Structure 1
Amino acid sequence: MKKFVFALVMCVGLNAHAALKIQSWTLDNGARVLFVEANSIPVLDISVEFDAGSRRDPADKVGIASLTNAMLARGVRAADAPQNEPALSEAQISDTLADTAAQRGGGAGNDRAGASLRTLSTAVERDKSVALLARILAHPSFPEELLARDKARTIAAIKEDETKPESIAGKAFWRLLYGSHPYAKHETVESVQSITRDDLVNFHRNHYVANRAVIAMIGNITRADAEAIAKQLTVRLPQGAPLPALPAVPAGQKQEELIAHPASQAHIQIGMPAIERGDPDFFPLTVGNYVLGGGGFVSRLTQEVREKRGLSYSVYSYFSPMAQEGPFQVGLQTQKEQANEALQVVRDTVARFLQEGPTTRELKAAKDNLIGGFPLRIDNNRKILDNMAVIGFYGLPLNYLDTWTEKVAKVTAADIKAAFNRKIAIDRLATVVVGNGKQDAK
C-alpha cells in the first residue's frame, strides 16, 4: 500500500502546481498555517516545524536539538483526562503508522526542526495518523534506555566522521566562518555524552511550542479540514516565551587552516558568510552562481579547474541562505601536490567573475536552464510541501513559487555583478585544506 501511495504522489506534482494557491492564516494560539488543496489523489502531506534547530543548542550541550527531534517518536507518554490515552512505545507508534499506510519523517537543521506526515486523506486513516502526530509532537516520553541507544549511535557517527576528510573539512569551514556564533557549533563526543533526559524535556518544552509552529499542508482535504487539523496538531502544545536574540554573524575575514590527513587527495573549501533568506540579492546570486560554479560542466570553475588544467574531477560553488547570513562556498578535491595550484585557480576565477560578471551568452544559458528546470523543483507534492515549509518558516511571500521564474528572467548581468560584489570579497574568503601536502610533510 505504501509503495502505491508514493507512486501516485510522484505523479501528481505538476497537476497540483497547475492550480497552486497557497492559503495562509494564523491560529489563535499563534501557529502559522499554509495550505494547498490538491484533489487529484487521496493523499495528505503535512509538515510541522519550529525554531528548534541546532542554533538553539546550549553551548555546552551541542546535539540537544538533533537528539530531541530524533527521539520524538521513540515513545509517547499517557495523556490524562479528557483524552485518557495510554502510553505508546516506539514499536506501537510504528505499528499504528503502518496500519494506516502512513509515513512519518522529520529532522533538525541549523535553523529549524520538526516532523512530517504522509497519510491517506480518507477520514478514518487521516484522523488516526494525525492524532498520533499530535501526540508525538506534544507528549514524547524520551525513554532513558532509548536515549542511551541514540547517544551511542550518535557518538559512533561522530567518531567515524573524525576520520573522514570531507567531514573534517566541513566542520573546520563552519568554525572558521562563524567563530563563536551558534552556526559554528558541532556535536562532540563530550557534548553528546553530557546530554540527559531532563535536557531533552526542557529543550522540547521551550522550543516545540504552539506560537512558533509553522504548519504546511497539501492534499485532498478542504480548507475546513485543514483548519481542524492545524488546531488538532497544536492544541496540546504550550505557549513559548520569547527566545533570546542570537549574536550577529561575524564579517568574513581571510583565514586559512591546513589540516594533516593521510587521504590521497586534498579536500578544499573556500567561502564566507553571505546571504539571509529573503535577501533581495537571492535571484541575481542564484543566476550568477549557475555561471560561476553551480552549472556543472558548463560552469566557469569546472572549465578552469577541470577542463583546462585537470586539477579536479569536480568543483562546485553555491549559496546557502539561512535565518542569518548563510555561507557562500566553493569546494573541490585535488591531488595533494596540486592543492596550491588549484586554490590559486579558484581564487583567480572568482576574482575575475567579481570584476567582469557573466557574459551575455552565459547569462542566457543560465536563465534558460534555471527556468526550464524549475518544474523539477515542484514536480511532486513532497517538494511543494518542502517549499511551503520554507516560505512559512522564513516569512517569504506566498507567491514565491509563482514568481520564481519571472524573477530569474528579469536578472541582468549588471544585477549579478552588483550582487556578487555586495556579498563576496576575494580578500575576505576563508580557506580550509584537509590533506595539504606541505602540512603532511611536517
Structure 2
Amino acid sequence: MSERNGLRYTLLGLGLILLIGLLTFIASRTAQAPEAAAAPSEHLESLAALEGKAPSRRTLDIQTWQTAEGAKVLFVAAPELPMFDLRLTFAAGSSQDDGVPGLAALTNAMLNEGVPGKDVSAIAEGFEGLGADFGNGAYRDMAVASLRSLSDKAQREPALKLFEQVLGQPTFPEDSLARIKNQLLAGFEYQKQNPGKLAGLQLFERLYGTHPYAHPSEGNEQTIPPISVAQLRAFHQKAYAAGNAVIALVGDLSRAEAEAMAAEVSAALPKGPALAKIAQPQEPKAGPSHIEFPSKQTHLLLAQLGIDRRDPDYAALTLGNQILGGGGFGTRLMEEVREKRGLTYGVYSGFSAMQARGPFMISLQTRAELSDGTLKLVQDLLHDYLASGPTEQELDNAKRELAGSFPLSTASNADIVGQLGAMGFYDLPLSYLEDFVAQVQALDVAQVKAAMAKHLNPDALVIVTAGPTVAQKELPPPTDKPAEQPTGVPEH
C-alpha cells in the first residue's frame, strides 16, 4: 500500500477537489522533521508560555549534492531509528501531459505493474517480504515515488534494487493498463454524481483556460482510452530522467552510504535533462457560473489566481489566510458563516502555491435555499477583511497556532523526506524551515494586510456553484445561538 495507491486503489473516490497543496498545501501544500531526542521534562508547557515564540524543535542538518546524472540530492541523517525513507520527486505531473490529459497520472500508476521477470504481484510480494513499503502518486506539478525500508544492508540493498527496477525498468503490461483504465473510467462515472467534483473541474477550467493546470490530473473519459503503451514509455523516458529528479533521503545512514544510494538510484533512471518549468497562467475572466444538480445543498467555490511557491509573500499570506479561513474554528469565515448563522458544516480558504501560480480558493456547502445569501455573505467578509486587515489579537492568535502546529509537520522521517523533496523541487533555500518560522513571527498587521490586499481582489473572483435552482430565502441574522444549526456531514 502506498501514496501511489492514491491513484490505483482510491480511483472510485475521485470526488475530492485538488487544492495544493493544498495544498496547503497543501500544498503545497510540504513536510518537516522529528525533533532530536531531548531530556525528559518534568513539566508540560502551554502555548501561552511561548509568548508568541515558536516552540523549540530539531534543527536539521540538511546536506545536498548532485549526482553524476544531474539529480539533486538532499539528505538528513536520522540515526534514532534503524530505517530510512527515500523519496524521488519528478517534474512529471499532469502539467507535463502535453495535450494528452491523464498521461502523467497513468504512467505513474503503471510503474509497479511490471518489471522484467516480475509482475505486479511479485513486485508487491518482494517489497512486503523485505518489510519495505513502496509508494507513488502523480499531481499537477509533480510525480513522486517513495521507499521506506530497514537500513540494515540485508534488507536495504534488495529493497533498493527492486525500487530501482520499478522506477527505471517498468514494462507497462497491456493487461494492467486495461485494468487501470477501467478503474479510471469508473471513477469518471462516479464524478458525474458528485456536484463538488463537477464544480471543481469547472472552476479549474475557468481559472486556467488553456494553461496546463486547467485539466484534471487523472484525465477524462475521452483522453484515457486512447493512451498507448508507447506513449507511456516515451513519457517515462523523458519525465523520469535523472536530470528531472530530486532525491530526498532521511534515515539511519552515513553520508557515504547516502551518497552511494543516491548514485545507484540516479544511475538506474533514464538519462536526460530537467524539463522546462511551467509558464505562468493568464488572468481569468471573473464572474459566476452554475451547474444544475438535484441536491439539498449547493456547493460554492470562489477562487482567483494566487501565488507560486517562491513568492516572497508566502509567509504573510499563510498567516493572513490562517485568520481568514485556513485555521478551522475561530477563523472569520467559520465564525460568521457557521457559528453565528448555522449556514454550513464548514467553510475553508487556502492558497495552493505551486510551480506556477496556484489557486486561492474558498469552498463550502450550504442549504440550497440560502445559497445566494451565503455567497454574498462570503464575498462581503472577504471584502471587509482585505479592507481592514486582521486585528492585533487575531494576528497573535494565528502566530501561536502556527508556532504550535509547525513542529508537528516534522514529526517523522516521512514528514522530513517530504519536506526535503518539496524544498528541492521548488528550489527553496536549505534554511527554509527556520526562515519560515522567523518570517511568520516577525510579521505585523500592516504587512499581512498589505500582502493579502496585493494578491487578492474580491471583485475578480471566479465563482462556480453546483446545486438546484430553488426559491431563495433571506439569511438568518447573526446570533450566538443560531436557530438553524449547520447540516450534518456534507452530502458529497
Question: TM-score, normalised to structure 2's length?
Answer: 0.83
Higher helix share: 1
- 2:36 aligns with one of 8, 11, 15: 15
Moved more, 142-151 or 12-21: 12-21
**Alpha-carbon deviation of 1:417?**
1.1
**Cross-structure match for 2:281:** 249
**Cross-structure match for 1:174:** 204
What is the CA–CA distance in structure 1 between the aligned matches of 2:156 and 2:273, rounded to whole Å? Answer: 32
1:54 has 2:103 as partner: no
For 1:14, give the aligned amino acid: E
**Alpha-carbon deviation of 1:104?**
0.4
What is the CA–CA distance in structure 2 between the aligned matches of 1:346 and 1:359, rounded to whole Å? Answer: 19
Q: Secondary structure at the match of 1:73?
A: helix
| Structure 2: runs of 5+ lacking an equivalent | 1-32, 38-56, 473-492
**Cross-structure match for 2:112:** 73
Q: Secondary structure at the match of 2:342?
A: coil
Q: Secondary structure at the match of 2:213?
A: helix
Quick check: 2:245–2:274 contact (8 Å CA) kept in 1?
no
Question: TM-score, normalised to structure 1's length?
Answer: 0.92
- 2:242 aligns with one of 210, 214, 220: 210
**Alpha-carbon deviation of 1:313?**
1.7
Q: Secondary structure at the match of 2:34?
A: helix
Quick check: 1:266–1:336 contact (8 Å CA) kept in 2?
yes
* 1:134-164, Cα deviation, whole Å (9 max, x unpaired): 1111100000011000100011011101210
**Alpha-carbon deviation of 1:402?**
2.4
Structure 1 residue ranges (4+ consecutive) displaced by more than 4 angstroms after TM superposition? none
- 1:316 aligns with one of 338, 342, 348: 348
**Cross-structure match for 1:90:** 120
For 2:200, give the aligned amino acid: G
Quick check: 1:259–1:439 contact (8 Å CA) kept in 2?
no
Structure with larger RCO (C-alpha < 8 A, sep 6+): 2
**Cross-structure match for 1:421:** 453
Quick check: 1:49–1:115 contact (8 Å CA) kept in 2?
yes
Quick check: 1:252–1:429 contact (8 Å CA) kept in 2?
no
**Alpha-carbon deviation of 1:14?**
2.4
**Alpha-carbon deviation of 1:114?**
2.1
**Alpha-carbon deviation of 1:428?**
0.8
- 1:348 aligns with one of 367, 372, 380: 380
- 1:434 aligns with one of 460, 466, 470: 466
What is the CA–CA distance in structure 1 between the aligned matches of 2:237 and 2:336, rounded to whole Å? Answer: 52
1:36 has 2:76 as partner: yes
Q: Figure out how many residues of one structure are paired with residues of the other and give that number.
A: 419
What is the CA–CA distance in structure 2 between the aligned matches of 1:119 and 1:106, rounded to whole Å? Answer: 15
Quick check: 1:258–1:439 contact (8 Å CA) kept in 2?
no
For 2:406, give the aligned amino acid: F
| Structure 1: runs of 5+ lacking an equivalent | 1-11, 78-86
What is the CA–CA distance in structure 2 between the aligned matches of 1:231 and 1:339, rounded to whole Å? Answer: 56
**Cross-structure match for 2:143:** 113
Equivalences for 1:97-176 in 2 at 5 Å? 97-176=127-206
**Cross-structure match for 1:9:** none
Equivalences for 1:231-242 in 2 at 5 Å? 231-241=263-273
Q: Secondary structure at the match of 2:454?
A: helix
Q: Secondary structure at the match of 1:296?
A: coil
Aligned CA RMSD, in angstroms, stands at 1.6
* Structure 1 residues 39 and 241: alpha-carbon distance in aligned structure 2, compared to 1, 3 A threshold: closer
What is the CA–CA distance in structure 2 between the aligned matches of 1:157 and 1:263, rounded to whole Å? Answer: 20
* 1:314-338, Cα deviation, whole Å (9 max, x unpaired): 1010110000000100000001111
- Identity of aligned pairs, percent? 39
